[in-house]
Every structure is written in structure tokens, then in C-alpha cells.
Structure 1
Amino acid sequence: MSTVRRWIRAAVSRKVKVLDLNFGPSSEDEVIELPKCLITCDSLESLRLFLLGRMLSLSNAGFSTLKVLEMNLVELIDEDSVKSFFENCPLLEELNLFDCLLNKLVTLCISSESLRILRIDNRNLDYTEDTPDDYDLESNMILYNNEGLCNSLEVCCPELVYFQYGGHIAYNFDFENMGSLKVAVIHPEDMSQVDLSFESMGDTICELFAGISNVEALSINLYFVQALKDRLEDRVRHVADEIDGFWQF
């Protein structure tokens, strides 16, 4: 990491605007901390991180000039620091979390006054309890157990216009100040292999759908529709049972 830090300091000294940090595979449980010189860099506008499942420790201080942040295969480990970090990136307009490991967070809270584009996509994460013998660290597939995702996703972004969510979903959603949202792309994956009932899945999808109901353009997939359909059928059966019980009484 010392060599990487020297390269980062050199880039910062040259007023870097766009920076990609791509780490190779490692068999150690390594925690990455972003150098202070990078966080305080007054020229950096775009940062992409590829950590191959390494843990990232975020400070409460965010990037003062960053407009685009993309995290790939990053494990976030402290929800309070994550929340504060996003809140303290005052110019952040685009945030992409691709295949990030969130199992150490009870709640992923993304609160930003400036964010306009948010993508959370974990479709390359595999819900598998046992690691196969031929598992390759260099593969883009990171293995999760059933506790792989955070329990809740909270989003409070008054300027957000585009929201994309793909893959396995959180169990609870809380959206606030989302009146500017215009486009939503929601493509959940089949969760039948996870210990989650169809009723719970339907409730979760309904909760998610309610939070984006004001959009002008919506893209959903079969699993989204099926979960809504199953939940609606459950409610219809419940109402029918109550009516039958009333007349029998």
C-alpha cells in the first residue's frame, strides 16, 4: 500500500481530476484507508475504486470537489462513517455501487443534497453458503452467504433524477425527499434461494415500489412483477377469508 500511496500523492500533486484505483486479488483481510491527501484533493472530480472485496474504511470527512464516485467490489464496514462520508461530499452528482459487500451494515444510508444519479447493482454477487473448491479470487464473482446484504436501504436525495437497483435486494426501504426522481430501473434477481418468504418478498417490493411511484419512466423485470402479483393475491385471499368469517358469524 505504501507504493500506492506514493503514486496517489504524485497524482494529487499534479492536480488529478479523474482517478481509477484497481487492486489485484489478495488472500489477506486487508482494510483500505484512503489517504488524507486524496480526500482533501481540491481538483479530483471522478474516482473509481476496484477493491476485489477488500474492506474500505471511510472517514467522516468526504471529498470536497468530487462529482462522480464509483465503487466496485468494495466491502463497507461502518454504517455511521458511510452515512457521514456521503453527506460530506457536497458536489457529488453520481454514485455507483457495483457488487459491493454490505453485510456489516445494518442500514445503508445515502443522504445527499446534490446527488442526481444513484446506481446500486449486485448482480455479480452469488448467494452461496459453501465456497467451491475451484473458486478463483480473480473472478468478478464474490460469494455471499444469506447475510450478504444490509437489512435496510435509506435514501434521502432531493435532487435525485435517476435511480437504478439491480440484483438481490435489501429487506427494507425508506425513501425521503425523492420528488425529483424521473427514471427508476428496478431489476431484482430471483430470491428463491434465500431464506425469505414470498410474502416478505412481496412486502419488500411493495415498499420499494411506493418509494418510486412518482417517476415518469419505470423499468421493472419479471421478478418484480411476480412479487407484486403474489402479494396482491395474498391480500385478496386474506380479504376473502375475512368476508367468509363475517358471514359465518
Structure 2
Amino acid sequence: MALREEVGVMGERPAGPEGPAEESRSGTISRRLNWLRAGVMGANDGIVSTAALVVGVAGASVSNSALLASGIAALAAGALSMAVGEYVSVSSQRDSQKAELAAERRLLKANPSGELKQLTGLIQERGIDPGLARPVAVQLTRKDALTAHARLHLGIDPHELVNPWHAGLSSMLAFLVGGLVPLLAILLTPRSVAVPSTVGAVVLALIVTGSVSAHVGGASKRRAVARVVVGGLAAMAVTYGIGLLVGSQV
């Protein structure tokens, strides 16, 4: 009863230097950066895996129709695998978020005074004076207790849970875009220079994806680019060697 009375008399003042609106904007930016990073990595996977396959098949000296069929199969299989994998992963994350929110909702109903005390402590940890933290906690509780606890305690925005369908679709599209680079490069260039042309196109594409991923993550672009380029070249070298070996035996 005391909690309800205290909550009921509080005015509608801003929650502090970093209110819910500011936290929401920060969370939105963070989610966009995560999606961008995931998209870049999906494109990088598409580039490397498709390039490794088509270069390996080209090493076996197969016909252009066989090369095209192999490339399309690699694109389809890889894109669907990425979509399903990301959908399952993000679905598990969403289920976990829902479970945490349900548990928090039960706690708010069973022990509102204790939850208010906890929220006050969380606000104090963010640099708010103890004398101000209690009124801020009361105001946030009056407005939307679950959202306040979810954001400050769980790090979850209950109004913007992760979406497995968006994650799966974006991963699939990113893989397809990346995989088209080596496939088109090897199909649209003369057979005599198809492999080196594909290697060149792949290196350029990996430089772009490596630079973007490093920029998003605030890491060293030189190291990021070196890692993805060396990894891509190694994958293509191995599969091309296998293709040459298999082609000579068939």
C-alpha cells in the first residue's frame, strides 16, 4: 500500500540525465550496428565458401554448365543454411528474453517493494545521487515498472525483442550477395583467366567486408583485412589443389 501511494503522487519529470528515451535511442543504434556486423559477416561467409567451391570445381576442368550448376547449388545451400542457423539461434535468444521478462513480471507482482528497492539501487549504480535515485525509481515504476527493470536489470527492451525472421532473412540475403561475387567473376571471364580473375575479385570483396567489420567493431582495419584475405586465399588454394588432383584422376 505504501508503495502504491508513493508511486501515485509522483509527477511526470524526466528520469534523469539518461532517461528512457535516451536509452531507447542508444539501444536502437546498438541493434543496428549488430545487424550490420552480422550482415557483413554473412556476406564474408558467402564470398569465401562460394569462391572456394567454384575455384575447386574449376580446378577439376569441368564444363561451364557444371560450374554454373555447382555455383548455384553452393549459393542456395549456403544461404539456406545461414537462414536456418540464424533463425534457430535468434529464436533461442528471443525465448530466453521472454522467459526473463516473465520471471521479472512475477517478481514485480509478488514483491513490489523489494523490486522498487532493487531499481533504486540500479539507478544509484548509474551515478544518480541516493536522494534522487528513489524518486526516479518511483517515477519509472509508475510509468512502466517492467520496462524499467528489463532495461536496467536485464538489459532488454521488452518492446523491441530480437526477431528471428528478420535475422534469418538478412543472413540469407547477405550470403547471396557475397556469394554472387565469385560466381559471376568465374562465369563472366574467359576460362583461361577465370581463376585468377575470381581470386582478384574475391580479394577486393574481402578487403571491403574486412574494413567494414573492423570499422563497426572499432578494431584495426589492417589486421581484420589481413585475416579475411589470408583465410579466403588459403581456402581457395586448398580447394583448387583438390580440384586439380581429382580432375587429373577422373
TM-score (norm 1): 0.25
More helix by share: 2
Structure of higher RCO (CA pairs closer than 8 Å, 6+ residues apart): 2
More strand by share: 1
TM-score (norm 2): 0.25
